[in-house]
Amino acid sequence: MILNASTYVTANDRIQFLKTQFLALSSWEDRYQLLIQIGKQHPHLPENLQTEEAKIQGCQSQVWIHANLGPQGQVHFQADSDALLVKGLVAILVFVYQDLTAQQILDVSLDFLKDLGFDAHLSPSRTNGLMAMVRQIRNFATAFMLLQKMKAGTSQS
């Protein structure tokens, strides 16, 4: 299953799609296989973006998340991991948050992670890593909001 964020306008639509896909599978073994499949199909992050600055601290595996701000204020993410299951997790996060505004990113409830069962079925170290990825995405959103406010303030001067 290839996740294409542009197919769904809102984060809620994307989350609903994920719930449909994951909750249709009866066993967690099948859900892990789906995560691995998603990880295999997620694009690789170019090596020049696999930097220490982009590396997520708190993950057992290596995970890199890169973000930039688009012209209409949307945040574009690129991410990768050296472990397929974790790459599947980061692909899901990119799918949910891709090209939303910073405020929309911050408005997404993290309940979807629990609804997908990740809180109960991932190992504690993977759960910690997942939350570190979410924190970094939210940190990017916060930083971009501040940047936009600073730009708006200087343009009004």
Question: Exposed, middle or buried by CB within 10 Å (0-12, 13-18, 19+), for 92?
Answer: buried
User: Is 65 annotated as catalytic?
Assistant: no
Nearest CA to 89 out of 31, 38, 33 is that of 38
Classify 55 as helix, strand or coil: strand
Classify 155 as helix, strand or coil: helix
Retrieve residue 84's tokens.
């397929």
- In angstroms, rounded to a whole number, what is the distance separating the alpha carbons of residues 138 and 6? 20
- In angstroms, rounded to a whole number, what is the distance separating the alpha carbons of residues 30 and 144? 37
Q: Which of these is catalytic: 11, 18, 35, 59?
A: 59
Catalytically annotated residues: 59
